[in-house]
Structure 1
C-alpha cells in the first residue's frame, strides 16, 4: 500500500495545470462515450447537524488505462471560522487484477485541482473565439483560487479580477493572494454578488451556499458562468439560461440549482448538452448571444480517479510517499 500525504500530493500536482486540464478533457470524452462507471455519489448527512456532510464517490475509468477507486470527502463549513479547511478527503485506488487497495492518497488537493481543471476547460470551450479579458470570482476560498490558477493555464491569465465574499476580511486576504499569483492584474472587491456578476463576462461561483441566493439579471448577455458550487443560482435564472453540465443524472440531485429547476419545470429540457458531448462533437451548441451560459459540473468521481492515478504513477516513479508493504498481511 502506497501512502501519499498532503505534502507528497502537493509536490506532485504543482505546476501541472495544463496536464490536469488535458486529463480532465480525456476523461470527460471517455465518460460521454460510456467508457466509465460512475455510480451516484453517496451523501452521509447527520440528523442533528445538517450543515455538515461526507460524500463517497466511487468510480471506474475504462479505455487504455483502466482504473478504479473511491474518494471520501467531508465538507464542514464551520471549519473556516477555526482557521482550518472546510473540506478534507482521502482517495483509495484498487487493483483491477485482485481488487486489493494499493494506494491511499490525501485527496483534498486532488479534488480542488480536478474541480478547477474542469472549470477552466469549460471556460476555454465556452469562450472559444473571444477572450473574456477578466473574471469575477464569487466566493473567496480554496476552489476559486484554484480556478484562477487553472484559468491562466487554459485561456491566459486574466488582466482584471473582481472578487466578492460575504466576509470582507476573507475578500481582502484573497486579494492579497491574487496579487502574489498575478502581480500585473487589476484586482478589486465588489460590494455585492450583483456587482460581481455585472463586472465581467466570465464568472465563477465557488461558495458553500446551501440554497440559491443569486439571479443572473445583472450579468451581461453572453456571460459564461462557472457554477462550480452548484447551489447559488435561482431556478428561474437557470431555466432562462443556456446550461452545460458534466452529467445530467448526477447534477440533478441533492437540491442543486438544476435539481430545483427540474422540479420546477418537470423536465430537463433546459439542459443543452454535456461537456463531454461538446468535446466529442456529438452535440452542436450555438449559444444565443442574448443569453447567459451556465456550466454546472457536479464533480464526477472519475475525474478524481484520473488525477489520483497520475499522482500515484509519478510517486512510484520518483520514490515519493510511504510504502507499507505489510498493509494487507
Structure 2
C-alpha cells in the first residue's frame, strides 16, 4: 500500500477535464443505481462539528474505497482548515488496500469537478459566475471554471487579506480568468447565471436573498444551507448528488426547513436541462471521491510516488 501526502495527491491529480469526466460518470451511475453508496454514517463533536464515513463500491469498474472526513466549523478561528480527512482506495477485485491518502486536495478537486460537471451540462457556455468564499474551494473552482471557458468570475470574501491573496494566486495560476473580488455578497452573485457558494458549513446569517439570484441560474451550494436557504430551494428545481443521503440530512434538520429533492443530479446531467433555476445540493458522496482517488492511486503506482507501507494482515 502507498501512503500519499496532500502534496503527493496535488501532484498526481488528473487534469480538470479528466476529473470532470470521471465524476460525471459517477454521478450518472449513482442516479441509475449502478454503484453502492450508502448514506454517510455521522458522528458528532462539540460546537456543531461532525465526521462522516463515506464508503463506495463501483463493481463495473472494480472500484472500492472509503473516505473519513471531519468538518469543524470553528477551526478557522484557530488557523486550521474546516475540513480534513483521509481516503482509502482498495483493489475492487481482492479488497487489498492500494493507497491511503490525505483527503484535502482530493476533496477540493472532487468538489470542483462535481461543480464543473454540473456547469458543463446545465449552464450556457462561458456564462459569468459568482462565488462566495476565498478559500481552497475558490482556487479549485477557478481552475475548473478556466478549463471550461467561464472566464468572467466575481468572488465575495469578507476579509481584505483573503481577497488580496486570491487575486495574487489567480494571476499566477488562472491567468485567463477575469477575476473581480468584493466584500459584498450581493454584488458577487446578483443576476449571475452560475452561482457557487463556498462559505463554512453551519454558518449563520449568510443566506443569499432569493431576489439576487437569476430565475434561470444554476446554483451550486458547497456549504449545505449556509448560503442557499429553504426559500431559494423551494423556488428552484432541487437536485442532489445522492438523494438518500440528502433526505437523511434533511430529516435530521441540518438543512432547516428544506423541501424534499425532486431529482438526482446525475439524472439532470443525463437529459435536457429543465427550465428555470436549478439548485444542486451536492452534499458529497463516496463514489465521486473514489473515482478521482483511484486515478491518483493509478498515477502513484505508475510513477512510484508516495511512501510504501507494509499493511501486514488483518
For the residue of structure 2 that corresponds to 1:261, the secondary structure is coil
Q: Deviations over 1:77-124 (max 9, x none)?
A: 333334332222111123344434332111211111110000011011
Give the equivalent residue in structure 2 for 1:205: 197
Q: TM-score, normalised by structure 2?
A: 0.89
Distance 1:168 1:42, change over 3 A: farther
Q: Distance in 2 between matches of 1:302 and 1:118?
A: 11
Give the equivalent residue in structure 1 for 2:4: 4
CA drift of 1:4 comes to: 1.5
Q: TM-score, normalised by structure 1?
A: 0.85
Give the equivalent residue in structure 2 for 1:173: 165
Give the equivalent residue in structure 2 for 1:141: 135
User: Residue 83 of structure 1: which of 76, 79, 84 is its match?
Assistant: 79
For the residue of structure 2 that corresponds to 1:244, the secondary structure is strand
Output aligned runs, 1:1-329, within 5 Å: 1-13=1-13, 16-46=15-45, 49-63=46-60, 65-128=61-124, 130-132=125-127, 134-153=128-147, 155-158=148-151, 160-198=152-190, 200-210=192-202, 211=204, 213-231=207-225, 232-255=227-250, 260-262=257-259, 268=260, 271-281=261-271, 285-288=273-276, 292-325=277-310, 327-328=312-313
Q: Distance in 2 between matches of 1:176 and 1:6?
A: 22
Q: Distance in 2 between matches of 1:187 and 1:310?
A: 30
CA drift of 1:179 comes to: 2.6
Gapped runs of 5+ residues in structure 1? 263-267
Maintained 8 Å contact 1:252/1:259: no
Count of aligned residue pairs for this structure pair = 309
Q: Distance in 2 between matches of 1:181 and 1:236?
A: 36
Q: Distance in 2 between matches of 1:147 and 1:257?
A: 25
CA drift of 1:322 comes to: 1.6
Distance 1:85 1:241, change over 3 A: same
